Amino acid sequence: MIHGRKISKIILLSILGLFAVLALYPVFFLIAGSLMGNDELAGYLGAVVAGREGYVDFPLLPGYPTLKHYVEIFLDSPEFFVMFWNSMKITFGVLAGQLVVGTMAAWGFAKYHFPGKKACFLIYMILMLLPFQVLMLSDYLVLDQLKLTDNLWGIILPGAFSTFPVFIMYRFFTELPDSLVESARLDGAREWQLFWYIALPIGSSGVIASMVLGFLEYWSLIEQPMTFLKNKSLLPLSVFLPDITNIGRAGMAFAASVVTFIPAVLVFLGGQDYLEQGIMAGAVKE
């Protein structure tokens, strides 16, 4: 019986290892492509990029490794830094707004009772389920009336009022015992003190989880910038990548992709434990 368990464990680990290799292959593909010269890339990807028929035999070890494409990005591509900074402004602007608006909204839904509370929360949940494509036209019309199209605020403000972080943080705040809140009120704590000294420290896991998810979403934002921004100097880095995928700049596209996903990987690894808690909290039904 013990021997059978060992065989089952080996089979399970082998299957998981295979899936891990398949999941990591695109990463190795990008890194390898970023280290190849233009001629080497043209030999491997020329038919695909040019739209011709042919086969791709792409090795994961460059024949002649070079850092030329990274040098081009950091020294010869000022538009890369402009769009990188735009991505930073959009992402951290949205996260700052979600941190202020989302935490207060989640705390209000979790611990306060007011007329229409269930209806408001139901509307929140419905809005969370609607994809951007459904709300795109109405968002554009509202932003156009507010003179916020072709402006980074037209992306930051709607993101700051996103309903998803409210839902994640709400699940954590509901786990806070009501008796603790009432005891603090009896001891003379004001409402802002309840929020600052009790809600935020105890619900910090939910706050960090929502921030991690928000970073991963808005760092790779594509549809909103392409819809609301016309000025190319305002576009984020995620929109910059498709513009450099011709064969002459394929290596630069690979290198830019590697540089772009590094912040997302670091944020994911740093907040992985909190992210797992947030996913588990979001999966629990009342």
Percentage of the chain beyond pLDDT 70 is: 88
Neighbours of 131 (CB within 10 A): 8
Mean per-residue pLDDT for 144-158?
A: 90
Planar angle of CA 98, 99, 103, nearest 5 degrees? 95
pLDDT at 46: 65
- Entry pTM: 0.82
Check residue 130 and give left, alpha or beta (phi > 0: left; psi -120 to 50: alpha).
beta
Per residue in 95-141, pLDDT (tens digit) is: 999 999 999 999 988 888 888 888 888 888 888 888 888 888 888 89
Mean per-residue pLDDT for 54-61?
A: 71
Nearest residue to 238 via CA among 213, 209, 263 = 263
If 0-12 CB within 10 Å is exposed, 13-18 middle and 19+ buried, where does residue 127 land? middle
Domains of the chain, first to last? 2-66 (no CATH), 76-283 (1.10.3720.10)
Nearest residue to 136 via CA among 225, 227, 217, 231 = 227
Per residue in 192-229, pLDDT (tens digit) is: 888 888 888 888 888 888 899 899 899 988 888 988 98
pLDDT at 123: 86
Mean per-residue pLDDT for 15-21?
A: 88
Mean per-residue pLDDT for 8-16?
A: 85
pLDDT at 286: 46
Spatial CB neighbours of 75, under 8 Å, sequence gap ≥ 6: none
